[in-house]
Amino acid sequence: MAPTVLLIGTLSHTNAEWEALRSKYTLLEFRTGTRAQFLENCRNGTYAAVRGCYRSNASNPITGAFDAELVSALPPSWSFIAHNGAGYDNIDVDACSARRIAVSSTPGAVDDSTADTAVFLMLGALRQAHEPLAALREGRWKGDARLGHDPRGKVLGILGMGGIGRALAHRARSFGMRVIYHNRRQLADPALEQGAQYVSFEELLAQADVFSLNLALNASTRHIIAAPELAKMKKGVVVVNTARGALINEADLVAALEAGQVAAVGLDVFENEPEVHPGLVRSDRAFLLPHMGTSTFETQRDMELLALRNLQTAVDEGKMLTLVREQKGLEWAPKEAVAKADW
């Protein structure tokens, strides 16, 4: 029998590629519905033969998070989740690992567009662009515009020097910025650093003129930036976040912004999306976007294609191209449904 795979949510740019898989797989779809309906399908045998699924952050409103409850309801045949999204904090990876369900994400595909957005936010925040932009549309010309700052000569501190962080560092050098970074560990290959200096977390806080968050959200990174960390930053620092809103305690950030400890912020993500803290909305020193860092045709298509490639390699070869970091190095025997190789 042909392997059975499930599409959760919609595809915007790769429906033809999905349909082409019908030549070798049995395709099921759950493009719309509710979490209750999805759980019922898991329990009543509708998905009894499913080996794995394609899902995305955009499908989260349909099924809700792939939390421990949902993962425990998946049928025994389920062996992989090909996730479309660089972030995957709405998947309980520990619960998946306990079930020997492999999870992939879409790193690489999002690096350039997210780094471009970070540069846009950094420049908007440095130049205090919110007020003149708003004033122009309101017929007030420049309004109460302040003088901004050039990026040249500033220190860019990057927290999380993965693909997006490195892409941002590459762009920042063209503005004459000096780049420092902090990871859990220093990059092993000096070529990846391209002249960026590895520093401790405390040094990153103390030295950065522009502080950019480019790391994943998990239990250990939630509120990694809060009042104590903000107090250790340079007075007048610019904070940029294109990763996940909950990396920052938003109330503490607003307090630091109102006190002048933080000069300006450039944010694409928020702690309780789609809600935005009213202190950010009313601040003329907050340059804000509604989580659109990967909102380009090219990037969205690349993400969908990578997730579909992960789906195919999971079924055909028993491995995933871009397994999530938490599962790399795990040793478990592959299930019979997806034989051939360890994840």
**Is 285 known to be catalytic?**
no
Q: What are 4's two structure tokens? A: 């059975």
Choosing from 273, 275, 298, 317, the catalytic residue is 273
Choosing from 55, 130, 166, 291, the catalytic residue is 291
> Which amino acid, one-letter code, is at 338?
V
Q: Does domain 4-108+298-338 have CATH number 3.40.50.720?
A: yes
At 329, the pLDDT band (50, 70, 90 cuts) reads confident
Give the single-character DSSP code of 66: B
Choosing from 83, 130, 166, 244, the catalytic residue is 244
Residue 314 pLDDT exceeds 50: yes
At 331, the pLDDT band (50, 70, 90 cuts) reads low
Q: What are 273's two structure tokens? A: 């999306």
Matching CATH topology for 4-108+298-338 and 111-288? yes
Residue 337 pLDDT exceeds 70: no
What is the β-pairing status of strands 80-84 and 102-104?
parallel
Among 311, 254, 246, residue whose Cα is nearest residue 286: 254
pTM recorded for the entire structure: 0.91
Please enumerate in sequence order all residues whose Cβ is within 8 A of that of 109, keeping only pairs 6 or more positions apart, or say none: 86, 299, 302, 303, 305, 306
What is the β-pairing status of strands 262-267 and 4-8?
unpaired
Residue 216 pLDDT exceeds 50: yes
For the chain, percent of residues with pLDDT exceeding 90: 95
The reported pLDDT for the residue numbered 340 is 35
Q: What are 161's two structure tokens? A: 């020097």
Domain borders along the chain are 4-108+298-338, 111-288
The reported pLDDT for the residue numbered 302 is 98
Task: Give me the mean pLDDT over the 48-63 stretch.
Answer: 97
**Is 291 known to be catalytic?**
yes
**Is 298 known to be catalytic?**
no
Question: pLDDT per residue over 92-132, tens digit each?
Answer: 999 999 999 999 999 999 999 999 999 999 999 999 999 99
Residues 111-288: name the CATH superfamily: NAD(P)-binding Rossmann-like Domain (3.40.50.720)
Lowest mean pLDDT among 142-156, 202-216, 249-263, 322-336: 322-336
